[in-house]
Amino acid sequence: MNGRTAGKNGKRVRLSPDERRRQLITLGTRMLREHALEDISISEVAEQAGISRGLLFHYFSSKQDFQLAIVANANAELLTRTEPDRSLPLAEMLYDAVRRYVDYVSENRTSYLALLRRPAGTELMTLVDATRGAQADRIMAEIPLPADHPDRPRLELAVRGWIAFVEEVTLSWLTTETISREQLIEMLVGSLPGLAADPTLIALLGS
């Protein structure tokens, strides 16, 4: 049975170990479009490939090993899909790559959300998220825009993003310390108005 799979008309097709491994990863990655990583059923992947669950573990040492192979494949897919088109001028190249990123993430929203948002300890991430939400609310509370102002949704997204920016930059800085604390603070503060690219914020913060 090893290396064989059910073909178009029920006949078993022989695959090389490499082809089989690739097939299983492709099936898993496809399922990632609609299931979180931890919800991908090994039995279902094996069934779709026409092999036994046990045989799948001939190609991957554990469920975790299979999950990692799926994530590595999905990441490679993301990088390929967002590969810059170097025939374009720089500003257009950025625009084009960002557009493809948004579309890729939209197509793979379930898995992408699951992967980046709560990468395991769910209750823990809920707490961390609540803290981010509280930080965003504080900032929004200082911005004198009526609740129904048309710019508000965009600004709310930008503020959430700015908090992620601040966290990432501060954590990277802690491990590298390539600039001074004062430069870091200037950069974090200076980034908010430009990031929101919002005339209201820019006017308020006088940047």
Restricted to residues 30-69, the positions that interact with a second copy (CB under 8 A) are: 37, 64, 67-68
Q: Which is nearer to a second copy, 52 or 110 (CB)?
A: 110
Token readout for 115 is: 């992967």
Beta-carbon-side half-sphere exposure of residue 37 (alpha carbons within 13 Å): 22
Stretch that binds a second copy, among 6-14, 43-51, 52-60, 182-190 (CB under 8 A): 182-190
Choice from 6, 140, 145, 188 touching a second copy (CB under 8 A) = 188
Q: Which is nearer to a second copy, 41 or 131 (CB)?
A: 131
Choice from 81, 140, 160, 200 touching a second copy (CB under 8 A) = 160
Contact assessment for residue 70 and residue 39, using Cβ atoms and an 8 Å cutoff:
no
CA 151 – CA 156 distance, rounded (Å):
9
Amino acid, res. 141: A
Contact assessment for residue 51 and residue 5, using Cβ atoms and an 8 Å cutoff:
yes
Q: Which is nearer to a second copy, 42 or 204 (CB)?
A: 204
Exposed/middle/buried for residue 102 (C-beta within 10 Å: 0-12, 13-18, 19+): exposed
Contact assessment for residue 77 and residue 33, using Cβ atoms and an 8 Å cutoff:
no
User: To the nearest whole angstrom, how small is the minimum distance from the Cβ of residue 104 to a second copy?
Assistant: 10
Residues between 64 and 103 that touch a second copy (CB under 8 A): 64, 67-68, 71-72, 75, 78-79, 82, 84, 90-91, 93-95, 98-99, 101-102
